[in-house]
Structure 1
C-alpha cells in the first residue's frame, strides 16, 4: 500500500467525508471550502474543478501517475550554500518530506537572532537579543492557505498598486528578480555538475555579456 496516494492529496476529504461535510458546512460554512478546495494544487490538474472533473484528471492525466514510476526528475530535497561578496553566507534547504509544511528563516547577527516560522499552523517572527537573553515576538499572523503562504497574491497586489501608482517603489525591481533567478539556475548547475559556481562568470555566461 503506497504511503503517497495522490487521490488522498487531491480529493481525500471529498471522497471520505463528502456527505458529512456537505451537511456540516451548512452550520460551519468554512467546511465547504475544505471539501470543494479549488486552489493550488488542485487548480493545476484540470479546468473542471468539480469532484468528477478532478477524479477524471487523476485517472487520465499525468498527475495521477505514481511518482516512483514516472519520468518526473524534480528533486525532493536540495541544500544550497551561498557566499556573497561581502562575506555573508547563507544556506537554503528545500525538501518535500517535512512534517512541518511551510517555510522558516533564521538570521544571525552580531547582536540578535531573528527567527521566522511561516507554517500551516500559523506565522510568527521572534527576535532573540544575545546580550540580554530576552526574546520578543514581533509578528504573529493567521493561517494562510493560498499560494506560497499568501505570497503569490501579495506580489500581484503589489504590482497592481505600483501600476496604479498607489506605491512609489516596488517590493523588488526587475534587476533583483533577474539576479535571484540566475542564482536558482546556478544552484541547479552546481547540483548537476557537482561543483562550485562562480556567479560573476556564470552571470556573463547566461546573459551573454
Structure 2
C-alpha cells in the first residue's frame, strides 16, 4: 500500500525532514501547502508535486475534500490548531508538529475534535521514537533500578543554536510563537511523563531572559554582524553560518527558497545582532515536577552550553542510570551487586534517529500494521505542564 500524504507547511521540519523521510520510506507526497511561492515551487520540484497539488493556504487544500490518506501539519506554532481541526473534520489522520496548541482551551478543542472524527492525531514527539530514550525506558521497565524515585534531565541548547532559533529565528518572540519551554522542551516534559508513568500533580518553574538584551550589547556593536568589528562575539552570524556546510541545517534555513547565504546575512533576520531586543523568550528555565505516584523530576533548559544535547539521570532505590545522548552513552550502577554496566546506543541521524523512526511507525499505523505512535491524549499532559 502506497500511502498518500499532504504536507502543510514547507519549512525545515515539514519539507526537509518529514517529507524527505516519508518519500524515503515509500510514501507519496500528493500535495503541498506553503504561503511563500518561491519555497513552495522549490519543494514541489524536489518532490515532483504537480501544480494542481500546490496550495498557498490550507483552506484551499481542504476545500478539495479527501484527496490524500493523511496530512502532516508543520506550520508555525500559532497555526497548528485550525488546520488540524479542518483535517479531523474530513476524517484525515494527522501527524501534528509540536507544540500542538498554545492554550488549554485549544488543547481541549483538539481533543474533542479527535473524539468526533474517524481520524487520529499523532504528535511529533520524536524523542519517544529515539533509540537512546527508548533504551532508557527499557531499563526503567526492567525493574533493575528498584523503586523509581527521581529523574533529572538537562536540555543543553548550544549557545549558537539558541541564537539561531530563539533570538534571530521563528521562535524569538512569544506570541506569536509558543513560549520557550513549550516550543523547545515539550519533548522533554513528554519523556519525563513517559518515564514516571503517572500524571503530574504539582509543578514549579522559574526562568527569564538573562543575557540577550540590548543593555548587554558590547561597545561598538553593529546592528548586523557583517558590519560588526567586535572581536570574539560567540553569537557572530559569520561564525555560526559561514563555518557550517551549506547543504545542512541551520544554513539551509537561511537559503530556503533560493536565497543566497550572502543576502540572508546582509538583509534577513539571521544576520542581525543578537542584542537588538527583538526577542523575548527565556534563555534559562528550571522546572520541578512532582507526579501523582511520588516520582519527582527536574528539567533544566539552558542556552549557556557549548554542546547541543541532552543528559539525564534516573534514580531508583536499587540503582542509578546516567545518559549522555550525543554520545549515545548509558551507564547503569546496580547498588545490589556493586556492578557498573556501560553501553552505547546508535544515535546517528536527526534527533538521534528519532525522525526516521517516527515516520516509520506512523506509516505502519496508516497501513494498519501497528497502533498509533504518540497519540494525542498522551501528549496533552506534557503541553499542560508547559502551560502551567
Task: Normalising by structure 1, report the TM-score.
Answer: 0.66
CA shift for structure 1 position 155? 2.1
Deviation string, structure 1 residues 102-145 (Cα, Å, up to 9, x no partner): 111211011111111112xx211221101222111244325x35
Deviation string, structure 1 residues 2-26 (Cα, Å, up to 9, x no partner): 222112212224xxxxxxxxxxxxx
In the alignment, the residues of structure 2 paired with residue 71 and residue 81 of structure 1 have an alpha-carbon distance, to the nearest angstrom, of 29
In the alignment, the residues of structure 1 paired with residue 323 and residue 312 of structure 2 have an alpha-carbon distance, to the nearest angstrom, of 5
Deviation string, structure 1 residues 63-113 (Cα, Å, up to 9, x no partner): 211112231112221111111111110000111221232111211011111
Partner of 2:256, secondary structure, is coil
CA contact (8 A) 1:113 1:127 kept: yes
Superposition CA RMSD, Å: 2.1
CA contact (8 A) 1:112 1:128 kept: yes
Structure 2 residue 307 is the aligned partner of structure 1 residue 100: yes
CA contact (8 A) 2:246 2:252 kept: no
In the alignment, the residues of structure 2 paired with residue 100 and residue 87 of structure 1 have an alpha-carbon distance, to the nearest angstrom, of 32
Task: Give 1:125's aligned residue.
Answer: 330
Select the residue among 145, 165, 173 that pairs with 2:368: 165
Structure 2 residue 359 is the aligned partner of structure 1 residue 136: no
Task: Give 1:151's aligned residue.
Answer: 354
CA contact (8 A) 1:77 1:96 kept: yes
Going from structure 1 to structure 2, the CA distance change for 1:47 and 1:100 (only over 3 Å counts) comes to closer
| Structure 1, unpaired ranges of 5+ | 14-34, 187-209
CA contact (8 A) 2:346 2:352 kept: no
CA shift for structure 1 position 48? 4.1
Task: Give 1:75's aligned residue.
Answer: 282
Task: Give 2:376's aligned residue.
Answer: 174
| Structure 2, unpaired ranges of 5+ | 1-230
Going from structure 1 to structure 2, the CA distance change for 1:43 and 1:150 (only over 3 Å counts) comes to farther
Which has the higher relative contact order, 1 or 2, with Cα contacts under 8 A spaced 6 or more apart? 2
Task: Normalising by structure 2, report the TM-score.
Answer: 0.37
Task: Give 1:47's aligned residue.
Answer: 256
Report how many residues are paired. 157
Going from structure 1 to structure 2, the CA distance change for 1:128 and 1:157 (only over 3 Å counts) comes to same
Partner of 1:69, secondary structure, is coil
CA shift for structure 1 position 181? 1.5
In the alignment, the residues of structure 2 paired with residue 92 and residue 127 of structure 1 have an alpha-carbon distance, to the nearest angstrom, of 21
Going from structure 1 to structure 2, the CA distance change for 1:173 and 1:46 (only over 3 Å counts) comes to same
In the alignment, the residues of structure 2 paired with residue 110 and residue 135 of structure 1 have an alpha-carbon distance, to the nearest angstrom, of 16
Structure 2 residue 238 is the aligned partner of structure 1 residue 36: no
Partner of 1:105, secondary structure, is strand
